Structure 1
């Protein structure tokens, strides 16, 4: 094992070290403690903002939205699955799309393992797209996901939540995304949270858009801990590197290797 490791190490091409200060362990601990003080400030601020978020007033959902699901057409109240709370991903996938948005798919890759934990905090999860259900199901099968994903096709749901826009809205400048921004496209991402009362009444408690959807990106947070971080500065746009998880070159190479 030692000999093999030494041989592999010797044949690797040298990788230039990044231009970065290198200090003693003692000095590193000193600097780390300084940063930890700032991190604790951020944590306390995050806790305070979370309290303000929970204190937001609610909006009663009076419109009777109906969604296409694998078990038939269902109202919004049925998507809670017996829980009081619902987290909803506005997943970018319009009618006729061959695949869902790469960034929304990146978010969705984190979802399935969390469902059991959400359920134990009285919370359900669902993704909603404007694509017809059969198109959603075809893409879901390709991705291997099992979380609930329903279609709002033929309803005003996406438009009412300002995550879908008509060509006319985009052309005349009336499209309103993220509480006052102009969307770059016809479909945009978002996360909304709902509460269901004992009588079945549903309330909107929170929505976030733009970079707010990063709450679903666990690996983004992990990358923030590394020396290179998200490593996106030289890209054309944020998340330009993201692919559907079965479209990365490494995944294709591994599949070809195994098939051979």
Structure 2
């Protein structure tokens, strides 16, 4: 069996040097100066986002949810602002075959109570048919609002994998921001925590001290070479990272009655 990072029998090479507390504190204080500068730069970027123009979208276009078709404007739930995650979808695939990257993102956004308290609504949009989406969200135990945008044009429909922000002005709606790829990382608290640890995300692209390896490896399937981004987003039933036919997006193993399946059931690209 492939060793995993939490296997106590596996010693990870390249551990940080051991020093006394005063030496550690001096190094920590030196890094804190850079961290504060990074925070201020992030504040400046956020300020620039707040100064972006906006573009109007059709607030009357219908999306499909548990109550059937509703206008996009309803997703604001009476609030002024709306954040949506656009979840990729494999048509006809079983639950274990759905997008592991989007699962990673949306699992971290299962509850929007703090957004709601600030006056911001949250919803997940996807191109899957509503029947498939409803079964999937029930299996995952998701309680955040989901809607099918099948057949709709961007920015409400179209290509998925985006995190987008909208503003409502009466009966009108406007797109104010959209991002994709690593731009959605703020929604994933685990990334921020892993970035505080000595071995980081365990991915090969990371800058590491000499002698400290990327710890990522999988039992089977992509990304089998080891250390690629997302290597731990799918696992086998025993918790070992794997992208083999019996693997699932990692959170699915927490669902009641879940069992290994022999195929991901995917055909074609997700949309």
Where on the TM-score scale, by shorter chain, does this alignment land: which range? 0.7 to 0.9
Pairing 1:238–2:235 present: no
Correspondence for 2:151 among 150, 154, 168: 154
Correspondence for 2:46 among 40, 47, 50: 50
Gaps of 5+ in 1: 1-11, 164-187
Q: CA deviation at 1:94?
A: 3.8
Correspondence for 1:223 among 181, 187, 194: 194
Pairing 1:144–2:141 present: yes
Cα deviation, 1:207-259, whole Å, max 9, x if unaligned, reads 01111011111111111111111012255331122027xx6523869989xxx
Aligned to 1:190: 162
- Aligned-residue CA RMSD in angstroms? 2.5
Aligned residues: 216
Contact 1:103/1:242 (<8 A) preserved: yes
Correspondence for 1:33 among 4, 29, 32: 29
Q: How does 1:64-75 map to 2 (within 5 A)?
A: 64-75=60-71
Q: CA deviation at 1:43?
A: 0.2
Gaps of 5+ in 2: 1-7, 205-213, 217-222, 240-249, 258-271
- Distance in 1 of aligned mates of 2:12 and 2:132: 47
SS of alignment partner, residue 92 of structure 2: coil
Contact 1:88/1:125 (<8 A) preserved: yes
- Distance in 2 of aligned mates of 1:72 and 1:126: 15
Q: CA deviation at 1:24?
A: 1.2
TM-aligned CA distance change 1:122 to 1:63, over 3 Å: closer
- Distance in 2 of aligned mates of 1:82 and 1:50: 25
- Distance in 2 of aligned mates of 1:96 and 1:194: 30
Contact 2:124/2:147 (<8 A) preserved: yes
Correspondence for 1:92 among 69, 88, 92: 88
Pairing 1:18–2:31 present: no
Q: Flag the structure with higher helix content.
A: 1
Contact 2:56/2:174 (<8 A) preserved: yes
Larger-gyration structure (1/2): 1
TM superposition outliers: structure 1 runs of 4+ over 6 Å: 253-256
Q: TM-score, normalised by structure 2?
A: 0.72
TM-aligned CA distance change 1:157 to 1:73, over 3 Å: farther
Aligned to 1:118: 115
Cα deviation, 1:72-129, whole Å, max 9, x if unaligned, reads 201111111111100010101143232331111111111123x111111110001111
TM-aligned CA distance change 1:253 to 1:120, over 3 Å: closer
